[in-house]
Amino acid sequence: MDTNQPRWQRRKDARPAEIIEAALTLFVDKGFAATRLDDVATQAGVTKGTVYLYFANKEELFKAVVRETILPNIESGEHLLADHQGTWAELLWILLERWADRMEYSASTGISKLMIAEASNFPDLARFYVEEVVMRSRKLFATVIQRGIDAGEFRPVDPVMATRAVISPLMLIKVWKQSFSLCDTEPVDLKAFARFHYELMMQGLASR
Amino acid sequence: MDTNQPRWQRRKDARPAEIIEAALTLFVDKGFAATRLDDVATQAGVTKGTVYLYFANKEELFKAVVRETILPNIESGEHLLADHQGTWAELLWILLERWADRMEYSASTGISKLMIAEASNFPDLARFYVEEVVMRSRKLFATVIQRGIDAGEFRPVDPVMATRAVISPLMLIKVWKQSFSLCDTEPVDLKAFARFHYELMMQGLASR
DNA sequence: GTAATAAATTACCAAAGAGTCATTAGCAGG
DNA sequence: CCTGCTAATGACTCTTTGGTAATTTATTAC
């Protein structure tokens, strides 16, 4: 108020991304229904009217959040598979490590929790998510495992089930952390756990 | 209408349980915020006024749902540990199988998904859930693994991390099924997957 | 400087749904 | 059969919040 700078600025290009980021945080934290658009607007540094300038309604904003946040992350893993030279066990570890890494700093992995919570209320978005994100991730891991089996590196297990077994622990631990960070006092080092789980997967629990 | 039976009955003792069951189904399916008390009442065969006869408000109903549904299930596993005679690997399988079984028919396992979605909106309930359900389950599995290590059945791994690795796949698959049953077309036989995961845990993925 | 523009605000509306309470009616005891 | 008790109803209020639109103001071009 003391300086005479403008009360707000026109930033047409930057607004949508800022609103989506604010919405991502709040949706992941409180859920879709419990998040107020007024709060999204405030956190994005605008007012509710501005949100409606860029998104038709709350549901469209939700869809935009999921789409914009997820899509950039999908493809890099597939490139890793295409370009890989070493053993399949190595690639498996690279994929898990990269994933654990991303979980530490990127808010985008919170989408998993969000989709789990809201899938039944947004069937079409759930279908999009399952097809474009989940299926592609599964296929990536399943291919690595299948090639490992073909190369004689892995025992001949069912690659579909093995994929689930490989992915689940990291996935759940992230979802869990997202939900119970306030009360679950057992701290988890994501990367250390990823390594532990990888080695358990490879060697098994039984003594020899 | 044709017969002259009463329009409703007085069933003071039965109502709370019926309302809780209806609420459990709807909360798990649609989430807390998206569930209308009118719908809960209808599904329980009463009207909204009756719900408020037995529960102070929506939040208290939610807490009652979590408490009443979970508590009966906790203790039986602990008894299994106390009474067990065979190997620890056997007990591990018994616990997993029993869990997979229960997931098939009991709605109570849907609580996991519900708590994941709503934990941040109900911190005190989340704390109750983590302490009374999660921690106790973890402790149960960790004890079995520790004893298996002591007995020389298992390699000397970190039992806390191993517990997470053992529990996560089944847990996530259940949560997932709960959320994406409509669009994730890959069918999962819970018991078969439990067996697969158990054997993978025991033997490992690497060929010898 | 000034006028035209459109980005952003603010005050508003309407629907939905949580929560209330006066009334109704099932049921047990006399 | 009647009477009292209270479980259950259903119409009501009030708050919350998604959504709208008239108004304001930053910005740009001349």
Whichever domain contains A25, its CATH number is: 1.10.10.60
* pLDDT score recorded for residue B2: 44
* pLDDT score recorded for residue A205: 65
Q: Is the CB of B58 under 7 A from strand C?
A: yes
Q: Which residues contact B185 (CB under 8 A, 6 or more apart)?
A: none
Q: Are A173 and A188 in contact (CB under 8 A)?
A: yes
How many Å lie between the alpha carbon of B153 and the closest alpha carbon of chain A? Answer: 6
Q: Are residues A110 and A47 in the same domain?
A: no
User: Does the CB of A34 have a partner CB in chain B at under 8 Å?
Assistant: yes
Least Cα distance to A129 among A117, A119, A120, A121 occurs for: A119
Single-letter amino acid code for the residue at A69: T
CA A18/CA A32 separation, integer angstroms:
18
For residue B2, being part of any structural domain is answered with no
CA A59/CA B135 separation, integer angstroms:
36
For residue B10, being part of any structural domain is answered with no
Site from A113, A205, A207, A208 to mutate, B interface, most B CB atoms within 10 angstroms? A205
Domain count, chain B: 1
Q: Which residues contact B200 (CB under 8 A, 6 or more apart)?
A: A157, A162, A165, A201, A204
* pLDDT score recorded for residue A206: 67
CA B55/CA B93 separation, integer angstroms:
40
Q: Are residues A133 and A176 in the same domain?
A: yes
Backbone φ and ψ of A125, nearest 5°: -65, -40
Q: Which residues contact B151 (CB under 8 A, 6 or more apart)?
A: B87, B88
> Which residue in B148, B184, B204 is closest to A202 by CB distance?
B204
How many Å lie between the alpha carbon of B98 and the closest alpha carbon of chain A? Answer: 19
For residue B151, being part of any structural domain is answered with yes
The CA-atom distances, in angstroms, between B185 and each of A10, A143, A172, B175, B194 are: 46, 19, 21, 15, 19
Q: Are residues A78 and A135 in the same domain?
A: yes
Single-letter amino acid code for the residue at A189: D
> Which residue in B34, B116, B134 is closest to A113 by CB distance?
B116
For residue B158, being part of any structural domain is answered with yes
* pLDDT score recorded for residue B96: 94
Single-letter amino acid code for the residue at B15: R
Q: Are residues A119 and A164 in the same domain?
A: yes
Q: Which residue of B has its CA nearest to A125?
A: B183
Nearest-5° Cα angle at A143, A137 to A147: 155
Asked if residue B103 has pLDDT above 80, the reply is yes
A76 lies in which domain range? 70-203
For residue A77, being part of any structural domain is answered with yes
> Which residue in B130, B145, B168 is closest to A184 by CB distance?
B130
Q: Are residues A41 and A78 in the same domain?
A: no
Q: Are A59 and A53 in contact (CB under 8 A)?
A: no
Query: Which residues 48-87 in chain B show a CB within 8 A of chain A?
Result: none
| Chain D bases closer than 7 A to any CB of the protein | 6-11, 16-22, 25-27
Q: Are residues A121 and A199 in the same domain?
A: yes
Distance A27 CA to D24 C1' (A): 31
Distance A61 CA to C19 C1' (A): 31
Q: Is the CB of B35 under 7 A from strand C?
A: yes
Under an 8 A CB cutoff, do B152 and A207 touch? Answer: yes
Distance A39 CA to C13 C1' (A): 20
pLDDT in tens, B112-161: 999 999 999 999 889 999 998 899 999 999 999 999 999 999 999 999 99
Q: What is the pLDDT along chain A (208 residues), one digit of tens a residue?
A: 345 688 899 999 999 999 999 999 999 999 999 999 999 999 999 999 999 999 999 999 999 999 998 877 778 888 999 999 999 999 999 999 999 998 888 888 889 999 999 999 999 889 989 988 899 999 999 999 999 999 999 999 999 999 999 999 999 999 998 899 888 877 889 999 999 999 999 887 666 6
Q: Are residues A22 and A74 in the same domain?
A: no
- Which nucleotide's C1' is closest to B14 (Cα)? D7
Measured between beta carbons, which residues in chain A are less than 8 angstroms from residue B131? 183
Long-range contacts (CB closer than 8 Å, 24 or more residues apart) made by B48-52 = B50/B15, B50/B19, B51/B19
Long-range contacts (CB closer than 8 Å, 24 or more residues apart) made by A81-86 = A81/A140, A81/A143, A81/A144
Q: Are residues A36 and A110 in the same domain?
A: no
Q: Are residues A49 and A94 in the same domain?
A: no
* pLDDT score recorded for residue B104: 85
Task: Report how far apart the first and last C-alpha atoms of chain B are (Å, whole number).
Answer: 73
Transcribe A76-110 into DSSP letters: HHHHHHHH--S-HHHHHHHHHHHHHHHHHH-GGGG
Which of A199 and B75 is assigned the larger pLDDT?
A: A199
Whichever domain contains B193, its CATH number is 1.10.357.10
pTM, to two decimals:
0.91
Backbone φ and ψ of B197, nearest 5°: -65, -40
Under an 8 A CB cutoff, do A158 and B186 touch? Answer: no
For residue A60, being part of any structural domain is answered with no
Q: Are residues A79 and A119 in the same domain?
A: yes
Q: Which residues contact B138 (CB under 8 A, 6 or more apart)?
A: B160, B163, B164, B167
Measured between beta carbons, which residues in chain B are less than 8 angstroms from residue A120? 29-31, 179, 182
User: Does the CB of A139 have a partner CB in chain B at under 8 Å?
Assistant: no
Q: Are residues A100 and A186 in the same domain?
A: yes
Nearest-5° Cα angle at B43, B39 to B44: 115
Q: Is the CB of B63 under 7 A from strand D?
A: no
Encoded tokens for B6:
């009463």
For residue A61, being part of any structural domain is answered with no
Q: Is the CB of B55 under 7 A from strand C?
A: no
Q: Are residues A92 and A189 in the same domain?
A: yes
Q: Are A171 and B203 in contact (CB under 8 A)?
A: no
User: Does the CB of B171 have a partner CB in chain A at under 8 Å?
Assistant: yes
> Which residue in A165, A183, A203 is closest to B169 by CB distance?
A165
* pLDDT score recorded for residue B1: 37
CA A44/CA A22 separation, integer angstroms:
5
Closest protein CA to C1' of nucleotide C21, residue: B49
CA A2/CA A159 separation, integer angstroms:
66
Dihedral of CA atoms A176, A180, A185, A188 in degrees, nearest 10, equals 30
> Which residue in B130, B161, B172 is closest to A193 by CB distance?
B161
